[in-house]
Amino acid sequence: MNHIESLFEKLNADNAPGQEKRQNKNDIEIKGESLEGIFVDFSHGDVDAHQPLPESIDYFNEGFSEIGSSQAYTEYRGLSEILTETAEKLSAFTGTNINPEEELIITPGTQGALFLAVGATVTRGDKVAVAEPDYFANRKLVHFFQGELYPVHLDYLNHNEKAGLDLSALEAAFKDGVSTFLFSNPNNPAGVIYSSEEIDRIISLSNQYDVTLIVDQLYSRQLFDQRSYTHAISHPDADREKIITITGPSKTESLSGFRLGTAFGSPVIINRMEQLQAIVSLRASGYNQRVLKSWFSEPDGWMDERILKHQEIRDDILTLFREAGITVRTTEAGSYVFPKFDVLSVDCITFSKILRKQANVVVTPGTEFGPEFTDSIRLNFSQDHQNAVDAVKRIITVAGYYQNEP
Ligand X SMILES: Cc1ncc(COP(=O)(O)O)c(C=O)c1O
Q: Is the peptide bond before 133 cis (omega within 30 degrees of 0)?
A: yes
Contact between 206 and ligand X per CB under 6 A = no
Nearer to ligand X, 212 or 217 (CB): 217
Nearest-approach distance from CB 55 to ligand X, in angstroms: 19
Closest CA to 217 of 188, 243, 246, 252: 246
Query: Would you count residue 248 as binding ligand X (CB under 6 A)?
Result: yes
Give me the least distance between CB of 184 and ligand X, in Å please. 4
Q: Please state the closest distance from residue 353 (CB atom) to ligand X, in A.
A: 21
* Least separation in angstroms between CB 259 and ligand X: 7
Q: Contact with ligand X (CB under 6 A): which of 41, 103, 132, 216?
A: 216
Provide CB contacts within 8 A for 54, sequence distance 6+.
Answer: none
Closer CB to ligand X, residue 260 or residue 320? 260
| Cα gap 103→96, rounded to integer Å | 12
Q: Of 288, 290, 265, 261, whose CA–CA distance to 277 is shortest?
A: 261
User: Among 91-99, 105-113, 234-242, 352-360, which window interacts with ligand X (CB under 6 A)?
Assistant: 105-113
Q: According to CB under 6 A, which residues from 110 to 169 bind ligand X?
A: 110-111, 114, 135
Q: Yes or no: say if 139 and 11 are a contact pair by the CB < 8 Å rule.
A: no
Binding segment for ligand X (CB under 6 A), chosen from 18-26, 104-112, 153-161, 354-362, is 104-112
Any idea of the CA torsion for 226, 302, 45, 94, to the nearest 10 degrees?
Answer: -60
Interface stretch with ligand X, choices 109-117, 291-299, 341-349, 384-392 (CB under 6 A): 109-117
Q: Are 124 and 101 spatial neighbours (Cβ–Cβ below 8 Å)? A: no
Interface with ligand X, residue 358, by CB under 6 A: no
CA 55 remoteness from chain centre: 25
Which H or E element spans position 222? none
Residue whose CB is less far from ligand X, 128 or 398: 128
- In the set 98, 165, 215, 218, which binds ligand X (CB under 6 A)? 218
| Least Cβ distance, residue 334 to ligand X (angstroms) | 7
Give the nearer residue to ligand X in terms of CB position, either 52 or 261. 261
Selected range binding ligand X among 75-83, 248-256, 270-278, 393-401, rule: CB under 6 A: 248-256
Q: Is 364 in the site for ligand X (CB under 6 A)?
A: no
CB of 134 to ligand X, least distance (A): 8
Nearer to ligand X, 250 or 294 (CB): 250
Q: Does the footprint of ligand X cover residue 261 (CB under 6 A)?
A: yes
Count of beta carbons in the 10 Å neighbourhood of residue 155: 12
Residue with Cβ nearer ligand X (126 or 216) = 216
Rounded to whole angstroms, how far apart are CA atoms 313 and 237?
A: 38
If one counts every other C-beta atom within 10 angstroms of the C-beta of residue 376, the result is 30
Nearer to ligand X, 134 or 390 (CB): 134
Number of residues in contact with ligand X under rule CB under 6 A: 13
Q: Which of 180, 256, 288, 294 binds ligand X (CB under 6 A)?
A: 256
Name the nearest CA neighbour of 25 among 338, 349, 374, 387. 349
Residue closest to 395 by CA, chosen among 309, 308, 307, 323: 323
Beta-carbon contacts of 15 under 8 Å, excluding residues fewer than 6 positions away, are: 23, 349, 352, 364, 365, 367, 368
The SS3 of residue 199 is helix
Contact status, residue 177 vs residue 132, Cβ threshold 8 Å: no
H/E segment holding residue 172? helix 167-175
Q: Which is nearer to ligand X, 154 or 399 (CB)?
A: 154
Residue of 56, 71, 121, 184 that binds ligand X (CB under 6 A): 184
Measured from the CB atom, the residue of 202 and 399 that comes closer to ligand X is: 202
Q: Give yes or no for a cis peptide into 406 (omega within 30° of 0).
A: no
Residues that bind ligand X (CB under 6 A): 109-111, 114, 135, 184, 188, 216, 218, 248, 250, 256, 261
